[in-house]
Structure 1
Amino acid sequence: MNETRYRILDAIAEEPVSGPELAASLGVSRTAVWKHIEALREAGFSIESDGGYRLTGVPEYGGPAIELGLDAPFTVEYHDSLPSTNARARELAEAGETDRVVVANEQTGGRGRLDREWASPPGGIWCSVLCRPALPPAHVPVLTLAAAVAAVETAREAGVDAGIKWPNDVLVPTEDGEEKLVGILTEMEGEADRVSWVVVGIGVNVRSEGLPAGGTGLLAHTDDLDRRAFVQRLLERFDALRGEPETVLSMWREHALTLGKRVRIETPGGEVVGEAVDVEFPGSLVVETDEGTRRVHAGDCEHLRPV
């Protein structure tokens, strides 16, 4: 959001402020103040103008609403509908942007790992974070773990008892097993010794309707959900974690559902079956198998019932 509009919203949040007072404090003309006020109204902010301008309502969702009060250095781009927030974030990356977040009310062509379809109905939380981390390419997986930690902590703050399945699926345990709440897809471009850009796509199911079998939404586990506040907290938590990669693993372990479980992992080199005992930087899963210890860097993980 435009910095001047931020300052206007801050100034009129508590009490009415006249146009001339705003113009003087901001160092702009009264006409410029009026144009900014109109732009804010068009963005969904309710602003009264009786005896001065006063903020009376904030839009429920959208880019300016998410940015207002966001304690993280992201610019938010909002769309009612997009084929893919990751695809749009890649376009912004190619244009040289950074610290941009693309949010959509729905995705019409959402994809997960291995190009699997990801259902993204209206009313969900579909967002992609574009950043340019000072990490070597081999360390980028830690950002995927950071996103999973951010998502599970935000879900728990919203009252949903969630945990992480390696490496980055956020699940809700049930009597019959586990249901998927959040999916994360990380993409990057770089060279052997440096990262050019990273896009971390985070999809959070809100409603359970329209999801494939095994999926669940936030509203199946809590009656009180503010999407705007959820996205803000998710972005703030991810921003904090991306700056502390050395602490991500300990927090991931704290929220892990996988550790201590018998697992089957489909990897490019074949199947790995055994007990998951640890995770190592930047995100490898340590598995004790009948043939010895294996470290798995990537693959599809399945939790197995105890033998």
Structure 2
Amino acid sequence: MMAILDSAMIMPRTCVAADQVLLLDTVGSTNTYAADLVREGVLFGANGADGVSGADGVSGADGVNAGKSAWSGHEIVVIAANEQTAGRGRLDHTWTSVPGESFIVSLVVSMPVSIMRDSSVSGWLQMIASCEMREAIVGAVCDFGGTLDEDVLLKWPNDIFAGGKKLGGVLAEMVPIPDCGDRVAIVIGVGLNLAVAQERLPIDKSTSLQLVARNLPDAMVLRDAIAVRWVQGLRSRLADFEEDPHREAVRAREAMTPICWTLGKQCEAHFVDGTTLQGRAVALNDDASLTIEDQEGVLHRVSTADVGVLSK
């Protein structure tokens, strides 16, 4: 059975920045666990006000919603784990982890339903989270006097790359809030390889932060440093996004374009219906979709696909 750890002792900086922090020793998936807490009304719901039991029998008094009389809907809740046994990525990809070597953190936030139904802007939310995670990684490395040997970039739409290899990924999912018609919960999960040795990386095209940076602290100290920066940065960006989503979509596109590792490269898009498309990624569009130009010069707008880069 999973154990709840002392988050104030292990992730002290994150506990100051977030509204709630729940740290588990092991979990199937932090995103799934967080989504269950939302569905049961423990997070952002009326049931959580008195610290009732949440997913898998976890009581609010042990870290979820403890001491809160009501949710305003603008909180940021952190669900972190030392080990994840059934991690999920976008399009049902898996994410493996080993205790003490990975960043496994999900944030639970909420957004107006009206914004999330607006396809012209809603696609940027995951990319805003990715951009803020990139900033958090770079900033945390600098906090400890470390240096990066490779640029940290983003592969459309949700992967974090360094040196042409995958460092981690971001997965955002919407979860309905019980008895709440105007806001929806967004669970944003991030998995990062922090201190995974080269010989134990899951695939050849993956990397670990310790392999692309120098003078890093202990991985769990680094986890706290990255998480606190991510919470702080995303809190500001989410408030701006809710205030004016179209303005923030423009801002996100401007920020993402120069750090998008996919742009300008030959790539192959794999769609859920089994079809594929090869071509060159030429543009990020206003709605966060990607334009791929095929060999005949025809432009294709791609919104949902697994896009792999064929050449650096």
TM-score, with normalisation over the residues of structure 2? 0.70
1:268 correspondence with 2:272: yes
Q: Which of 103, 112, 118 lines up with 2:80 in the alignment?
A: 103
Report the Cα offset of residue 183 of structure 1: 0.9
1:254-283 Cα distance to aligned partner (Å, 9 max, x none): 211111112111123522222212112332
Change (3 A) 1:292 1:79: same
Which residues of 2 match residues 266-305 of structure 1 at below 5 A? 266-268=270-272, 270-289=275-294, 290-305=296-311
SS at match of 2:287: coil
Conservation of the 8 A alpha-carbon contact between 1:104 and 1:126: yes
SS at match of 1:79: strand
Work out the percentage of aligned pairs sharing the same amino acid.
27
**Where does structure 1 lack aligned partners over 5 or more consecutive residues?**
1-41, 46-58
1:67 correspondence with 2:15: yes
**Where does structure 2 lack aligned partners over 5 or more consecutive residues?**
45-75, 142-146, 242-247
State the one-letter code of the partner of 1:301: V
SS at match of 2:162: strand
Instruction: State the alpha-carbon separation in 2 of the partners of residues 293 and 257 from structure 1.
Output: 19
CA RMSD of aligned residues (A): 2.4
Change (3 A) 1:241 1:281: farther
Q: Which residue of 1 aligns with 2:135?
A: 153
Report the Cα offset of residue 79 of structure 1: 1.0
Report the Cα offset of residue 196 of structure 1: 2.2
SS at match of 1:133: strand
Which residues of 2 match residues 48-67 of structure 1 at below 5 A? 59=9, 61-62=10-11, 64-67=12-15
Q: Which residue of 1 aligns with 2:59?
A: none
Report the Cα offset of residue 222 of structure 1: 2.6
Change (3 A) 1:219 1:275: same
What is the aligned residue count?
242
1:179 correspondence with 2:165: yes
Q: Which residue of 2 aligns with 1:136?
A: 116
- Structure with higher Rg: it is 1
Report the Cα offset of residue 136 of structure 1: 2.5
Instruction: State the alpha-carbon separation in 1 of the partners of residues 234 and 192 from structure 2.
Output: 14
Instruction: State the alpha-carbon separation in 2 of the partners of residues 227 and 198 from structure 1.
Output: 21
Q: Which of 213, 229, 235 lines up with 1:239 in the alignment?
A: 235
State the one-letter code of the partner of 2:236: A
SS at match of 2:94: coil
Change (3 A) 1:170 1:271: same
Higher normalized contact order (CA 8 Å, seq sep 6+, divided by chain length): 2
Report the Cα offset of residue 74 of structure 1: 3.3
1:112-149 Cα distance to aligned partner (Å, 9 max, x none): 12322211211211011111112233343212101211
1:215 correspondence with 2:206: yes
TM-score, with normalisation over the residues of structure 1? 0.72
SS at match of 1:122: coil
